[in-house]
Amino acid sequence: MANTKPTTRCRVKIVCVLALAGALAVPVLAQDKDDESKVIAMESAWNQAYKARDGKALGTMLDDSIVLVNDDGTLQSKNEFLTGVHTAKLSANQQGNPESIKVRIFGNVAIATGVFRQSGFENGKAFVRRNRFVDTWIHTGNSWQCVAASATAILH
C-alpha cells in the first residue's frame, strides 16, 4: 500500500498557501466592515432626512433610477417619492430609525436589511407600524447610492 501521508515539504507548502490566503483576506474584511459602517450611516441619514423632509439630501442618496416598493405594494420613482416627502403633512408619517439593521457587502453592492418603526396619523388617528426593509446600495465613485428599496409590513 502506498504512503498517502503528505510529506513535510508538502505540508509546509499547504501552510504557506493558507497563510497567504488569510493575509490577503484581512484587507478585504477590513474594507467590508468600513463599507458596512458607511451604509449604516447612509440608512440613518436617509431616516433623518425623511423626518426633516429634506428632499435635497434624499435626492443625493437615491439613484435617479431607484425603484421603491412601498409596504402596500405600490411602486414609486425617485421623483414620486421626493414629491410625496415634500407635500406630506409634517405629522402624517414619521419614519423612525431602524430597530435593527444588517448590511452584507458584495463587491460594490451592499444589501441592507432590518426593521423600522413607522408612526404618524392616518384619518385623524395615530398609528404605529413596524416594517421589514431591504435596501440595495451601489458604490459609485466615492459614495453609496440606493438603487432599490422595499418595505413589508410586519403584521404580528
The tens digit of pLDDT for each residue in 88-117 reads: 765 555 666 678 999 999 999 999 999 988
Q: What integer pLDDT is reported at residue 29 of this predicted model?
A: 47
3-state SS record for 90-145: CCCEEEEEEEEEEEEEECCEEEEEEEEEEEEEECCEEEEEEEEEEEEEEEECCEEE
Q: How far is CA 3 from CA 7, 8, 9, 66, in A?
A: 10, 13, 15, 61
SS3 88: coil
pTM: 0.74
Q: Quick one: which of 36, 76, 78, 40 has its CA closest to 58?
A: 78
Mean pLDDT value across residues 64-80: 94
CATH for 8-153 is 3.10.450.50
Residue boundaries of the structural domains of the chain: 8-153
Q: Return the C-alpha cell found at 131.
A: 416594517
Higher pLDDT, 75 or 117: 75
Say if residue 150's pLDDT is above 90.
Answer: yes
Q: Return the C-alpha cell found at 64.
A: 435617479
The 10s digit of each residue's pLDDT in 27-69 is 444 567 899 999 999 999 998 898 888 999 999 999 999 999 9
CB atoms within 10 A of CB 16: 10
